[in-house]
Chains A and B, each alone.
Chain A
Amino acid sequence: GAGVSQSPSNKVTEKGKDVELRCDPISGHTALYWYRQSLGQGLEFLIYFQGNSAPDKSGLPSDRFSAERTGGSVSTLTIQRTQQEDSAVYLCASSLALASPGEQYFGPGTRLTVT
């Protein structure tokens, strides 16, 4: 079956512009996660969804970042007024249930470059 998909695969934007990143999880996976991978850093947890709700938003780096998930499926991560430090690979993952957070299936990522 199809894995987690993300779009776009690459995004170059000017500083100050807003960007929207999309994640399509594996069908039937109720839990969805967003991570950020910066050069030389590990994977930084941003936010997770169980269904459409995001109980913990504390991982979002600033209030310029927001995420939503509708219909228990597709999720979008929005970054407003992008800054150069936002440049990173944004990874989405999904798992069958929140009770098995370690068994996450990752998408290919969106490489964001802010110029």
Chain B
Amino acid sequence: AQRVTQPEKLLSVFKGAPVELKCNYSYSGSPELFWYVQYSRQRLQLLLRHISRESIKGFTADLNKGETSFHLKKPFAQEEDSAMYYCALSGNSGAGSYQLTFGKGTKLSVIP
């Protein structure tokens, strides 16, 4: 079974401080990992995916297969980063391949 764990329900940081949102996963094959974000009163949207190895809005995430982690990082938090962040996993084989398994989310609050 595939599982995504986000250990922090809430993370508060000061503006300008580094941010790390933790995500660990459980999957027997080679998954694809994603971060989704939901800003206040907006719909859920894709932030970034591990296969692109891209930086979006200053955020990066590296897939660590040894630690089965996909932590989201940003060196300097901005107030507009305050949102709900969800880590998600998509399998690459079997019946569960076509669904996203989400973590329970971490609410990031950036304090001015």
Q: Do A107 and B101 contact each other (CB < 8 Å), given the known contacts A42-B86, A56-B95, A101-B90?
A: no
Q: Does B74 sit at the interface, judged by CB under 8 A?
A: no
Q: Does A71 sit at the interface, judged by CB under 8 A?
A: no
Contact pattern, B 93-109, Cβ under 8 Å of A = 1, otherwise 0: 00101111111110000
Residues of A within 8 A of B10 (CB): none
The CA-CA distance from A101 to B2 in the complex, in Å, is 15
State the Cβ distance, B103 to closest chain A Cβ, in Å: 6
In this complex, the interface size class of chain A, counting residues with CB under 8 Å from chain B, is: 20 to 34
Whether B43 contacts A109 by the Cβ 8 Å rule is yes
Whether B98 contacts A56 by the Cβ 8 Å rule is yes
Q: Do A101 and B99 contact each other (CB < 8 Å), given the known contacts A42-B86, A42-B105?
A: yes
Write the chain A residue with the least CB distance to B104: A42
Q: Give the number of residues in B that approach A within 8 Å (Cβ atoms).
A: 21
State the Cβ distance, A72 to closest chain B Cβ, in Å: 16
Residues of A within 8 A of B97 (CB): 101
Q: Do A33 and B44 contact each other (CB < 8 Å), given the known contacts A101-B90, A102-B34, A102-B88?
A: no
- Dominant SS at the A interface? loop
The CA-CA distance from A105 to B36 in the complex, in Å, is 10
The CA-CA distance from A23 to B48 in the complex, in Å, is 25
Q: Does A41 sit at the interface, judged by CB under 8 A?
A: yes
Residues of B within 8 A of A (CB): 4, 32, 34, 43-46, 49, 86, 88, 90, 95, 97-105
Assuming A42-B4, A42-B104, what are 16 further A-B pairs, CB within 8 angstroms?
Answer: A35-B102, A42-B86, A42-B102, A43-B100, A48-B98, A50-B98, A55-B95, A55-B98, A56-B98, A98-B98, A101-B99, A102-B34, A103-B49, A104-B46, A106-B43, A106-B44
Can you report 13 A-B residue pairs in the complex whose CB atoms are below 8 A from each other? A33-B100, A40-B104, A42-B103, A48-B99, A58-B95, A93-B44, A101-B99, A102-B49, A102-B88, A102-B90, A105-B45, A106-B43, A107-B43
Residues of A within 8 A of B (CB): 3, 31, 33, 35, 40-43, 45, 48, 50, 55-56, 58-59, 91, 93, 98, 101-109
